[in-house]
Amino acid sequence: MKTVLHQLGRYRRDTLLCVAMAALEVVMEILLPFITAIIIDKGLEAANLSVVYRYGILMVVLAALSLVFGALAGKCAASASAGLAANLREAIYNNIQTFSFSNIDKFSVPGLVTRMTTDITNVQNAFMMIIRIAVRSPLMLVFSYIMCLIISPKLSLTFLIAVVFLVAVLGCIMAVTMKIFNEVFRKYDDLNASVQENVSAIRVVKAFVREDYENEKFSKASSNLYRLFVKAEGLLAFNSPAMMLAVYFCIIMVSWMGAHFIVGGTMTSGELTSLFSYVMSLMMSLMMLSMVVVMISMSMASVRRISEVLNETPDLADPADPVEKVADGSIDFEHVSFSYKHGSGKNALTDIDLHIKSGETIGVIGGTGSGKSSLVNLICRLYDVDSGAVKVGGLDVRQYDMEALRNQVSVVLQKNTLFSGTILENLRWGNPDATEAECVEACKAACADEFIDRFPDGYHTRIERGGANVSGGQKQRLCIARALLKKPKVLILDDSTSAVDTATDARIRAAFAQKIPGTTKIIIAQRISSVEGADRILVLDNGRIDGFDTHEHLLESNAIYREIYDSQIKGGGDFDQSAS
């Protein structure tokens, strides 16, 4: 709660203004019935027109003022809540940018998106309601009751019965609905997650003809929500009859006792009229207050989810005295163990001890889940090791400035993305200052030039969001070119040519050997043909090193390597592409 409110920033002024305006509005509204009483008693009953005029004008002025204050309060509330939402969004966005991969793993991408959209909107709406009504209602309640007490202490006591009744009924309803709403929000999360997953993976769903299954799953989740909502709203519907009951009880009491008092001469008819108004606003504000309680409880879930993201601290930090320059492309793993949930669960990598010289080309091979991606993610410090050390250029990666390290260790991730924008713009993610000639050069090395040249707009072709208008293999080649533009000391390709045909794959490797001979190259691949030309090949199995030698030696001594080799030769070479 505090974390979220802290984000109000410069909108704190609007919030306070809104509260002040709402208070003034209440004061005006409270005075109105009082003046009505004066008009009736001193003007109408005494047949004194000048009193009617004088107080009539005062009434109009007060009403106008109340209108103005009300409008101002509304405007301030809108500005304060929209401002809060904007600040929250920005704060979350900024914080997410500092997140490491493991921070993001913790929330999941759909989770972060929901928090930035639905949850913030919830908080914005609730905040607007709260600063207007949460101030208005209690004030109204107290003032109205004080006025009632001033007019007729005896009658006011009977209202207490109605108030107690109403509080009891509303309280019960609130308690139950709040429980249901908490449940609703948990279910919402599930529903959102399933929507995001299925919509973003709609191609896979269609390819596997899973539409019916997914539809049914969704209908079930959605009708669950429907039932809960109907239950909650159905209960809330009792608010209004309960309030009406209390109101009519009060009106009958006022009429009945008021009539006696007037006949007895202890009350004027003007006072009776204003008493009616006060009773009404008393009950109204109680009702409003109950709605605010519901609102608050509904937004609490969102507030909690937002502050979780805001309070998350990135678990990778630059050292106090960061090194900017990577000396060379040598890589050393010294008895490294690593798990995604630090210390708990299964290790993704166990006791990896590995030394790679600068400029070497290393192939990495192993089954899915054997830890290939995990291994290379440690080199550019996307994750930190649990024990041991990863060194690049002779220095522990934790001693480098992260940005400098990642600029000099360029990785083409297995799950890669292009961004909406032209091809040139995408390439310049690698190096913002790259000239067009340098970009073309990089594309040549990555064998991307051949298809780019066929596009009518060439290098100015627009890439749709997520790279939807290029094929898998084209996307991979653009990502390689983007990584090359960094002119890195270490280049890592994580299964980056899986969708590229064997011949092009070979040409890309030949271009690497010719154009960037000094760069250490680590090539993860599924095909033996992609790695057999490497200086040395690393065979990973279940997070451990199974072999690290040349192609020829491995064929002789390594059972896993020979098995993969045999299966691919028999399978006809190129038909072994993994399903991933």
Ligand X SMILES: Nc1ncnc2c1ncn2[C@@H]1O[C@H](COP(=O)(O)OP(=O)(O)O)[C@@H](O)[C@H]1O
Residues that bind Mg ion (CB under 5 A): 373, 414
Residue closer to ligand X by CB (options 372, 489) is 372
Partner in contact with 348, chosen from ligand X, Mg ion, none, beta carbon below 5 to 8 Å by kind: ligand X
Residue closer to ligand X by CB (options 14, 494) is 494
- Choosing from 348, 445, 484, 522, the residue that interacts with ligand X (CB under 6 A) is 348
> 46 to 105, contacts with ligand X by CB under 6 A?
105
Partner in contact with 281, chosen from ligand X, Mg ion, none, beta carbon below 5 to 8 Å by kind: none
Angle at 501 between CA 500 and CA 506, to 5 degrees: 95
Residue closer to Mg ion by CB (options 254, 376) is 376
Provide the terminal-to-terminal Cα distance of the chain, rounded to the nearest Å: 43
Instruction: Please count the residues of this chain forming the interface with ligand X, following the rule CB under 6 A.
Output: 11
- Amino acid letter at 17? L
d(CA 159, CA 174): 22
H-run or E-run covering 571: none
CB of 81 to Mg ion, least distance (A): 45
d(CA 170, CA 239): 6
Nearest to 113 by CA among 199, 219, 184: 199
Residue closer to ligand X by CB (options 285, 558) is 558
Partner in contact with 366, chosen from Mg ion, ligand X, none, beta carbon below 5 to 8 Å by kind: ligand X
Token output for 574: 């190129």
- Of the listed pieces 31-39, 82-90, 303-311, 361-369, which binds ligand X according to CB under 6 A? 361-369
CB of 339 to ligand X, least distance (A): 8
x/- track of binding to ligand X for residues 366-385 (CB under 6 A): x-xxxxxxx-----------
CB of 235 to ligand X, least distance (A): 42
CB of 372 to Mg ion, least distance (A): 5
CB of 383 to ligand X, least distance (A): 9
Radius of gyration of the chain (CA): 36
Q: Are 349 and 374 in contact (CB under 8 A)?
A: yes
CB of 104 to ligand X, least distance (A): 9
Residue closer to Mg ion by CB (options 76, 385) is 385
When asked if residue 111 is in the footprint of ligand X (CB under 6 A), the reply is: no
- Other Cβ atoms less than 10 A from the Cβ of 71: the count is 12
Percentage helix, strand, coil for the chain under 3-state DSSP, each rounded to 5: 65, 10, 25
Token output for 207: 């390819």
Residue closer to ligand X by CB (options 137, 339) is 339
Contacts of 260 by beta carbon, 8 Å cutoff, 6+ apart = none
> 455 to 514, contacts with ligand X by CB under 6 A?
none
CB of 447 to ligand X, least distance (A): 24
d(CA 72, CA 22): 9
- Choosing from 340, 429, 451, 455, the residue that interacts with ligand X (CB under 6 A) is 340
CB of 371 to ligand X, least distance (A): 4
d(CA 419, CA 429): 9
Nearest to 519 by CA among 323, 322, 326, 324: 326
Residue 461 DSSP label: P
d(CA 533, CA 566): 17
Q: What are phi and psi of 350, to 5 degrees?
A: -130, 125
In a 13 Å sphere around the CA of 17, the CA atoms on its Cβ side amount to 17
- Of the listed pieces 40-48, 68-76, 255-263, 364-372, which binds ligand X according to CB under 6 A? 364-372
Residue closer to ligand X by CB (options 311, 580) is 580
Residues that bind ligand X (CB under 6 A): 105, 340, 348, 366, 368-374
